Amino acid sequence: MTESKPARLVVLISGTGRNLQALIDAQAMGQLGAQIVHVVSNRPKVPGLDRAAAAGIPTSVVDHQDYPSREAFDTALAEVVEACHPDVIALAGFMRILTPGFIRRFAGRLLNIHPSLLPKYRGLHTHRRALEAGDREHGASIHFVTEELDGGPVVLQGRIHIGSTDTPDTLARRVMEEIELQIYPAAVRWMADGRLQLCDGRALMDGDPLDQPLSWPHDALQEGLAP
Ligand code: GRF
């Protein structure tokens, strides 16, 4: 019997790379179901590139400042990504808005992590906005990337309670440590195993439409993907 090859994962980053590190660590523990074949950054010399190099993962920089337009940058980025033959592409703190052409080219393979309970707070400053709104809960979401910014079908969410002493900084740290670093490896695992799919604009899990996002840790626990 031939063993099936792990899914090929490309990770796009712009900075610190803590989410990338969580994926690297999950792979090292044999829990990712995927092999990170390449890391691409749109910014040179960011810590995330060092993390990839330390793990022996090939890296590329496609610096958006080298291109005259968003389309030209995305064309160059798409060529690098395509050459890796990815099954899954994970945006992990990738801070560029992708063009519709790029998104269509890789439709159904693109995941993003966003630090809010989508559909709340698309875009930036999510922690401050959750506090200003007086929310009791906050969290992070993994979603398929579609042409609508932070608007694609949400597949997995984790939530925390907002405490009376939380500030934007403490919330950012808590959402990162308690939620983001946990949920991305689980979502990639489900993609790598072919269980999560994007079909006609809807997220499917094991072939069934997700009426609501999977929840962390509840749904991951049932799969042995949460501690
Ligand atoms: C994360 O909060 C991610 O959700 C957001 O940008 C941050 C990136 O952090 N889009 P890192 O690069 O993974 O450390």
Q: Which residue range(s) make up the domain with 44? A: 7-222
Q: What confidence tier does 218 reach under pLDDT thresholds 50, 70, 90? A: confident
Catalytic site positions: 114
Q: Is residue 94 part of a domain?
A: yes
User: What CATH code is carried by the domain that includes residue 195?
Assistant: 3.40.50.170
Average pLDDT over the chain reads 95
Residue 216 has pLDDT above 50, yes or no: yes
Q: How many domains does the chain have?
A: 1
Residues 131-157 have pLDDT tens digits of 999 999 999 999 999 999 999 999 999
Residues 6 or more apart whose Cβ sits within 8 Å of residue 186: 156, 216, 220, 223, 225, 226
Q: Classify residue 2: in a domain, yes or no.
A: no
Q: Kindly state whether residue 131 falls inside one of the protein's structural domains.
A: yes
Q: Does any domain span residue 227?
A: no
pLDDT value at residue 219: 79
Kindly state whether residue 45 falls inside one of the protein's structural domains.
Answer: yes
pLDDT in the model for residue 1: 46
Contact 118, 141 (CB under 8 A): yes
pTM: 0.96
Average pLDDT value for residue range 31-41: 97
Cα–Cα distance measured from residue 94 to residue 28, given in angstroms and rounded to the nearest whole number: 23
- Percent of the chain past pLDDT 90, that is, above it, reads 93
Please tell me the distance from the alpha carbon of residue 64 to that of residue 67, in angstroms, as a whole number: 6
Q: Taking 90 as the threshold, does the pLDDT of residue 119 lie above it? A: yes
pLDDT at residue number 227: 62
Q: Pocket of ligand 1, candidates 11, 14, 18, 145: which has the most ligand atoms within 8 Å of its Cβ, to mutate? A: 18
**Binding site membership of 115 for ligand 1 (Cβ less than 6 Å):** yes
Q: pLDDT at residue 64 above 60? A: yes
Q: Cα 19 to chain center, whole Å? A: 8
Please state, in angstroms and as integers, the Cα–Cα distance from residue 174 to each residue in 6, 20, 127, 139, 182, following that order: 31, 17, 10, 9, 12
d(CA 156, CA 217) in angstroms, rounded, equals 10
